[in-house]
Structure 1
Amino acid sequence: MGSTEDTTSTTYSDASSSPTQPLLSNPAPTYPYPYPDPPPASEPEPTQFLQISYNYGPRPIKDLPFLLLFSLFALSTFAFGIFSSVNRNPNSSSVSSFSYDSTTASCVKNATTSSTLRSPTFLPLPNSFALHSSSSSLLKSLIWTLVITLIISVPFAFSVLVLLKHYTKQIVYVSLPFFVIVPIFVNVYWFVACTVSSTCDEKFPLAYRILVLVFVFVIIGVIVWIFVVNWHRIELTVRIIGVAADALSRNLGLFGVLPALTLGLFVYFVPIVVFLVLARLNGKIVAREEDGEYYCVWKQDSWVPAYYALAIITMFWSATAMVEAQAYVISGTIARWYFSKDGSSLKRSLRSSLRNAFGPSSGTICLSGLLICVVRFVRAVVDNAREDAPGMVNLILRCCVNALLAAIDFLNKFTINFAAITGEAYCTSAKMTYELLRRNLLSAVFVETVSTRILAGIILVLSAIYAIVVCVILKAASNLGVDSYFIAVMAWVLLIVVLGYFVHVLDNVIDTVYVCYAIDKDKGEVYKQDVHEVYVHLPISRNSRSASALVARTPLVV
């Protein structure tokens, strides 16, 4: 009896902690029965999902009601916008030419027009020419610097991608010291510059300068401490970034399509902005009584504020939906590359992702964009309410709401990945996402946070070095003086925007590769051996570890 008990216990523990156990499905537990014939297997639950894989075939339309709702908002915005532009009042800007007529009790246009007075000609001030010359020189230098920065940023981003693909470890380890050196340099530089400048010294006392200096050094110390504590994770993060850079380098068409989608969004916004400007011209000139006297004033039509609300909601929803569409295209393209066999053609992967994003899954993208839009709106309301309702209760409520919104953002990101891979509806993809992340939550958080922070740090370091070089060149080649700092900062901001977009794309690639690896592990297959060699070292979820330990330690009751 003892040997039977030991054998059965070992079999149950090994089966429960097997590394080939699917991630997305919940297999029926194997109970240790001492009887010769176990009870018949129960029917699978209807909520149990099948193993997922990339859907190459035609996909059915999902979440159609949300696509129709978005179309209704967009068509209504354009329809009322056209109506507002056609029916605008041409007298909206000439209220002063109307006067109150007591006989008709209304405002009528004056019959006589006042003579046009010739504006006096002012002689230029003595220093006006120098001021104009200085401003034009500043504007010219700023435009040329921004144009050159924009032109350089494209090959610069490709160079960063190539370096991250082939020399990831060297780039990361060379950039890490600059995470500390650059803030220290900026902190010491502004302190010395403010001390030397008499104007800054008067407006910013020495005690406050020292306090800010020490505070910045404390923040830098915290950054150093974070690096020291997480040093054992840096090597894994380096390999994850290298894998994502390799995947992105094999799908360079994304760098042409994604900016084109952004440009298309701006073109879509142009008529809406024009309609918003013309909508305010819809109204009439009416008489208003004040202190017994009548004045002619402009009164907008009652529907104009409602149209403003409709147009603004449509623009925000369109912007978030476009962001989700770009994430969908990235996920679909990378997933098709991942699940393709070596040597197969990938020319149609990007085209297929675009067709699915703006075809069968357009309703899913609209729903996801709507959720993100609502989350952003609620977060803005909560942030603006901190001054209206101060106190501990308000602080606790804001923390809870922000935690809930962050969880929705986190789940929504991987939901779009699943929808791009499988073509399922939003709710189904969310359930499948939960089934996967429930046992790999810490791994997903690790993939999202650590790699993103390091990439952002690398971009900040490279942009700061570029801004310093620009400032030195402007100091040596021009007489702009203090304005050279302003131009260098603007160049830094522009380069940050371009490289930040590159980091955003690379972040989506990292998330997609992670999901593809989880699907591979769920099916017990290996499509990309180099990806498995890296992602297999991800931290194990505490829930999975504790569940395995509990099963292994549970005694058998015979």
Structure 2
Amino acid sequence: MSSSAEDPNKQPTLYDSSSSTSQPLLSKLNTEEPTIRPDPPDPDPEPTQFLQISYNHGPRPFKDLPFLILFALFVLSTFAFGIFLIFNRNPNHGNVSSYTYDTNSSSCVDDSLNLSLLLSSNNWVLFNNELSSSDFLEYLIWTLVVTLILSVPFCFLVLLLLKHYTKQIVYVSLPFFVLFPIFFDVYWFVACTVSSSCGDSFPLLYRILVLVFVFLIIGVVVWIFVANWHRIELTVNIIGVASYALSRNLGLFVVLPLLALGLVFYYAPIVVFLVFARLNGKIVPKESDGEYSCVWRQDSWVPFYYALGILTMLWSYTAMVEAQAYVISGTIAQWYFSKEDSRPRLSIRSTLRNAFGPSAGTICFSGLLVCAVRLVRAAVDSAAEEVPGFVNFALRCCVNALLASVDFLNKFTINFAAITGEAYCSSARMTYELLKRNLLSAVFVETVSTRLLAGIIFVLSTIYAIAVFAILKGVAKLGVDSYFVAALAWVLLILVLGFFVNVLDNVIDTVYVCYAIDRDRGEVCKAEVHEVYVHLPISRSHRSSIVPRPLGV
């Protein structure tokens, strides 16, 4: 038998040498198995479904330039016309009473020097000297100065407590949210009842109505906390994470007040221009019942300058607020996306360079929208007082709901723009799609944490005001004025702490957007943030087919 003949009893081996194309037997077996094909792609995928969003460290192109140019035109026009107003002012504005009508020339002429102005000026100096020497003004100034100085370490103390003892601070403060209003309500009612002057000004029926009304408000506050009690623990953890993030970027407490101080210096010449605007005009005769008198008449274009100056100031204020939010978001985002063992260098400087450079137009656009929303809301509220009725009430509710949605969308838009450097409209669309893809809803983050922080600063400011009142009662004899001084100290401290809470709110929003980006990319940049934010409620309003990619994929 030839060697090339095949043996019918021969068992197949892993590699058959007689085959023209030798291949593994397992490969043949595998080809006979049914293959598992991947699911067909979504016929209508999201336009940014596979877009990798991250912090843009590289050079950023300029965005929304038309709005930056428009803002610059507003500012330049305000300053240019303001300088013209100063040089065009009429020095006789304050001497109207010294002018009399001259029948020969049919005009107003200067009759005599106005000695009354000199006397009134001297009287004001004397009155001012008497006022400055009073004990009330002295104690008021010293109280406000000491409060302003103490507010700086007070903010750092609150930040330190919220960082390490968040749960204790929140749960200790919660009872005071109710006890303080009840105490002041009852105290005012008893004090007004005992005092004869207050009792005559406010009858017993009015005092009872105020007492009941305040108790109703307290009941609403209690109901809000009871209804959201299951969310308190999560909110405590969110505040703790934000406090830790803010403590890692303490340079913000230097930059943000400087930006606010810069806005004050920027406002100073505009206020001077508005003051000098009223000096532009002339003294003209006015006929009344056949008799002529001399009156001051402003130039016709002065009201237009008032409108221009006020709009410029409002737009500048909202733009500065958005710039502060941009700086906070950019700085916190760089910290969030950095490695665990590293700290970003010059993060605040680079964010400032982006805010007042490539993203300046985006900030101006955002500030313009916020300014427009506030003006429309003020117009709607004033119209509601003049035109009452159900139709007006329904219209106002619809407008307020629309404006609230614009405010809500704008907040996260500026956070996203600070992270990516996108234009305003692109940031708004991409932020909405980012949250929708990951089934996230930030309503909870927005409401509960803000209310808790506001309650905490209210309690701390009230405790400080009570201490100020007790000290004034012991060292000074101001009488009823002690209440006024303590109230002003309370207002000043709550304003400073309110600024601190606003910064912390922006940090919470920024960390939330960074967590959404992490979730969208399937990464974990800050594990301690994911441990907290993963417990946020999922939004059920979006399509269930859009499921975020699991972490680590």
Please classify the TM superposition score into its range, dividing by the shorter chain length.
Answer: 0.7 to 0.9
Using the size of structure 1 for normalisation, the TM-score is: 0.85
Identify the residue that residue 27 of structure 1 maps to in structure 2: none
SS of the aligned residue for 2:93 comes to coil
Change (3 A) 1:36 1:489: closer
Listed one character per residue, the Cα deviations across residues 45-96 of structure 1 (whole Å, up to 9, x for unaligned) are 7676722110000000000000000000000000000111112122222233
- Mapped pair 1:400 → 2:398: yes
Q: How does 1:11-30 map to 2 (within 5 A)?
A: none
Compare 138-147 and 531-540 and name the one that shifted more: 138-147
SS of the aligned residue for 1:295 comes to strand
Q: Which amino acid aligns with 1:401?
A: V
| 8 Å contact from structure 1 (residues 418, 429) kept in 2 | yes
Listed one character per residue, the Cα deviations across residues 316-357 of structure 1 (whole Å, up to 9, x for unaligned) are 000000000000000000001000112323231000110000
Listed one character per residue, the Cα deviations across residues 266-293 of structure 1 (whole Å, up to 9, x for unaligned) are 1001001111111121222333333344
Compare 299-308 and 193-202 and name the one that shifted more: 193-202
| 8 Å contact from structure 1 (residues 439, 541) kept in 2 | no
Q: How does 1:208-247 map to 2 (within 5 A)?
A: 208-247=206-245
- Mapped pair 1:91 → 2:92: yes
Listed one character per residue, the Cα deviations across residues 27-55 of structure 1 (whole Å, up to 9, x for unaligned) are xxxxxxx9989878869776767221100
Query: Where in structure 1 are there 5+ consecutive unaligned residues?
Result: 1-33, 123-127, 551-558
State the 1:473 CA deviation.
Answer: 1.2
The alignment-based identity, stated in percent, is 73
Q: Which amino acid aligns with 2:337?
A: F
Compare 337-346 and 418-427 and name the one that shifted more: 337-346
Return the alpha-carbon distance in structure 1 between the equivalents of residues 41 and 209 of structure 2.
73
State the 1:117 CA deviation.
Answer: 11
Return the alpha-carbon distance in structure 2 between the equivalents of residues 133 and 420 of structure 1.
50
Identify the residue that residue 355 of structure 2 maps to in structure 1: 357
State the 1:198 CA deviation.
Answer: 2.2
Listed one character per residue, the Cα deviations across residues 366-408 of structure 1 (whole Å, up to 9, x for unaligned) are 0000000000000000000112211110000000000000000
Identify the residue that residue 196 of structure 1 maps to in structure 2: 194
State the 1:477 CA deviation.
Answer: 1.7
Change (3 A) 1:379 1:440: farther
Q: Which amino acid aligns with 2:86?
A: S
| 8 Å contact from structure 1 (residues 49, 432) kept in 2 | no
Change (3 A) 1:266 1:312: same
Q: Which amino acid aligns with 2:68?
A: L
Return the alpha-carbon distance in structure 2 between the equivalents of residues 406 and 118 of structure 1.
53
Q: How does 1:178-193 map to 2 (within 5 A)?
A: 178-193=176-191
Identify the residue that residue 262 of structure 2 maps to in structure 1: 264
Return the alpha-carbon distance in structure 2 between the equivalents of residues 115 and 489 of structure 1.
41
State the 1:216 CA deviation.
Answer: 2.3
Identify the residue that residue 75 of structure 1 maps to in structure 2: 76
State the 1:118 CA deviation.
Answer: 10
Q: How does 1:305-384 map to 2 (within 5 A)?
A: 305-384=303-382
Compare 326-335 and 227-236 and name the one that shifted more: 227-236
Q: Which amino acid aligns with 1:491?
A: A
Identify the residue that residue 547 of structure 1 maps to in structure 2: 544
Return the alpha-carbon distance in structure 1 between the equivalents of residues 132 and 93 of structure 2.
39
Return the alpha-carbon distance in structure 2 between the equivalents of residues 254 and 83 of structure 1.
39
Q: Which amino acid aligns with 1:204?
A: F
Change (3 A) 1:198 1:441: farther
Residue 502 of structure 1: which of 500, 503, 516 is its match?
500
| 8 Å contact from structure 2 (residues 437, 520) kept in 1 | no
Residue 444 of structure 2: which of 438, 443, 446 is its match?
446
Change (3 A) 1:484 1:362: same
| 8 Å contact from structure 2 (residues 326, 415) kept in 1 | yes
Return the alpha-carbon distance in structure 2 between the equivalents of residues 285 and 133 of structure 1.
35
- Mapped pair 1:273 → 2:271: yes
Change (3 A) 1:39 1:443: closer
| 8 Å contact from structure 1 (residues 439, 543) kept in 2 | no
Change (3 A) 1:314 1:40: closer
Identify the residue that residue 456 of structure 2 maps to in structure 1: 458
Change (3 A) 1:114 1:543: closer
State the 1:170 CA deviation.
Answer: 0.7
Listed one character per residue, the Cα deviations across residues 418-469 of structure 1 (whole Å, up to 9, x for unaligned) are 1000000000000011113336677300001000100000000011111111
Q: Which amino acid aligns with 1:547?
A: S
Change (3 A) 1:207 1:520: same
Change (3 A) 1:441 1:272: farther
SS of the aligned residue for 1:356 comes to helix
Q: Which amino acid aligns with 1:514?
A: Y
- Mapped pair 1:301 → 2:302: no
Identify the residue that residue 8 of structure 2 maps to in structure 1: none
Return the alpha-carbon distance in structure 2 between the equivalents of residues 389 and 435 of structure 1.
40
Listed one character per residue, the Cα deviations across residues 131-150 of structure 1 (whole Å, up to 9, x for unaligned) are 96997111111111111111
Change (3 A) 1:334 1:39: closer
Identify the residue that residue 54 of structure 2 maps to in structure 1: 53
Change (3 A) 1:309 1:219: closer
| 8 Å contact from structure 1 (residues 333, 350) kept in 2 | yes
Identify the residue that residue 484 of structure 1 maps to in structure 2: 482
Change (3 A) 1:477 1:195: same
Using the size of structure 2 for normalisation, the TM-score is: 0.86
- Mapped pair 1:437 → 2:435: yes
Residue 137 of structure 2: which of 117, 125, 139 is its match?
139
Q: Which amino acid aligns with 1:219?
A: I
SS of the aligned residue for 1:385 comes to helix
State the 1:295 CA deviation.
Answer: 3.3
Report the structure number with the largest CA radius of gyration.
2
Return the alpha-carbon distance in structure 2 between the equivalents of residues 323 and 86 of structure 1.
33
SS of the aligned residue for 1:288 comes to strand
Q: Which amino acid aligns with 1:300?
A: Q
| 8 Å contact from structure 2 (residues 437, 546) kept in 1 | no
SS of the aligned residue for 2:538 comes to coil
| 8 Å contact from structure 2 (residues 55, 420) kept in 1 | yes
Return the alpha-carbon distance in structure 2 between the equivalents of residues 242 and 257 of structure 1.
23
Return the alpha-carbon distance in structure 2 between the equivalents of residues 460 and 326 of structure 1.
23
SS of the aligned residue for 2:134 comes to helix
Q: Which amino acid aligns with 2:398?
A: C
Compare 227-236 and 278-287 and name the one that shifted more: 278-287
- Mapped pair 1:467 → 2:465: yes
Listed one character per residue, the Cα deviations across residues 240-285 of structure 1 (whole Å, up to 9, x for unaligned) are 0000000000000000000100010010010011111111212223
Identify the residue that residue 251 of structure 1 maps to in structure 2: 249
Change (3 A) 1:542 1:46: closer
Listed one character per residue, the Cα deviations across residues 113-134 of structure 1 (whole Å, up to 9, x for unaligned) are 58899979x9xxxxx99x9699
Return the alpha-carbon distance in structure 1 between the equivalents of residues 224 and 42 of structure 2.
51
| 8 Å contact from structure 2 (residues 78, 270) kept in 1 | yes
